[in-house]
Chain A
Amino acid sequence: SAPGHKQRNQNRPKTPKHTPPSSQEALRLAEAAENVSVDPKQGCKKHELYVSFRELGWQDWIIAPEGYAAYYCEGECAFPLNSYMNATNHAIVQTLVHFINPDSVPKPCCAPTQLHGISVLYFDDSSNVILKKYRNMVVRACGCH
């Protein structure tokens, strides 16, 4: 959609042979489309990061839980997105625009797509007890945004 591209193309002499762009992106696009170079290990995935209140030395004021599995998202969002991960519609558009203009538009990010909350039970300074619900504390699923 970039007008500059169109103008440049119009000024170029027409050649019967299609010359692919020399950038590596084009090669990667082709390979990815054939599902050759997509390493499942590189995909956007959820990894566990256990936050232990016990290890933080907080047992004297946190009654429950002992800790919680917070998780984090890690990996690359490589084309085709839906072959091995949750991807938003935006991520697909982001990928396409990235291929068109790789220097200025980044790839979609591997990020949480579903979060859920936890409850924490703790004493305050006055030994009153507080039960508080914290939303969006734990990653339930990762995907490409």
Chain B
Amino acid sequence: NFTMESDLSSAFVHRALRSQERREVQREILSVLGLPRRPRPHSPERRTAAPIYMLELYNAALEPAASGFSRAAAAPVLAPAPPSAPTRRDQRYLSDADMVMSFVNMVEPDEDPHMFHQFHRFDLSRIPEGEAVTAAEFRVYKDFVHERYENETFHVSVYQVLREYDDRDSDLFLLDSRVIWAAEEGWLVFDLTATSNHWILHPGQNLGLLLVLESADGDRVNPRVAGLVGNQGPQNKQPFIVAFFRATGVRLRSVR
């Protein structure tokens, strides 16, 4: 009898599921994954920078050596070589995180016609319950500049927009700044941990980020001139935010 039961059980596992069973299985797995229903993204583009970077993180998480990175020193802020490769600092964040999330830039390319700064806005309000931010980064790609600026340095500043006005400039709060060489290439990483926590608590105060570039003389420069890629650049180099989360408590599944 046992052999027969065992054979039946194997047959059950390997046969194709009927549509009703399939729906039940889908519902059960979604429940295990902690999702109320299956997400329905609007034709997501997998070749943009954020999914590529997240896939690199996923692969890094699979590697057994990944945990070794957690004890390594932080990598230089400007990461060369593969455009989306996670830095050692990201690996450290990853090993401590329960969840990592990248956010799509909400600003359409034609919404940001400014010559002397880049404007970015990210919706951080849709975060799964029970998750707290441990680190967040704003990542902007810097292309190599071949032209006359090659030996120059620039000053990059990232500001949080605090208040907007119709008749004058917005109130800004400087988050981070650094000097870059025109000849450098790679991802610029700005720490956004405090700001992202603030935005999650107060979504109404999320008015976006402003990236400003100045020459060594203090003159405003078009970021594109120095190779900083904005929303109009190649998809795999467009700016995005990545945040690392830890679960704040025991996640209980609802009774069904």
B-binding residues in A (CB < 8 A): 39, 41-42, 47, 49, 51, 56, 58, 60-61, 63-64, 74, 76, 119-134, 137
Contact = CB atoms under 8 A, between A and B. Distances in A.
Nearest to A125: B39
A128 B103 CA distance: 5
A40 to B, nearest CB: 12
Nearest to B45: A127
B25 A56 contact: yes
Contacts of B3: 41
Q: Indicate the member of A49, A119, A120 with the most B CB atoms within 10 Å.
A: A119
Given A41-B3, A133-B98, A121 B54 contact: yes
The secondary-structure label for the interface of chain A is strand
Contacts of A119: 58, 61-62
A68 to B, nearest CB: 10
A56 B29 contact: yes
B9 A128 contact: no
Interface of B: 2-3, 6, 9-10, 13, 22, 25-26, 29, 32-34, 38-42, 44-46, 50-51, 54-55, 57-58, 61-62, 97-104, 123, 126, 128
Contacts of A121: 54-55, 58
A124 B100 CA distance: 12
A136 to B, nearest CB: 10
A39 to B, nearest CB: 8
A73 to B, nearest CB: 12
Nearest to B103: A128
Contacts of B57: 131
A63 B58 CA distance: 10
B16 to A, nearest CB: 9
Contacts of A137: 32
Nearest to A131: B100
Given A121-B58, A132-B98, A134-B32, A127 B6 contact: no
B202 to A, nearest CB: 19
A119 B94 CA distance: 12
A41 B26 contact: no
Contacts of B10: 47
B55 A124 contact: no
Contacts of A63: 46, 51, 54-55, 58
A125 B25 CA distance: 21
A75 B171 CA distance: 68
Contacts of A131: 54, 57-58, 61, 99-101
Contacts of B61: 119, 131, 133
Given A56-B25, A121-B54, A121-B58, A127 B44 contact: yes
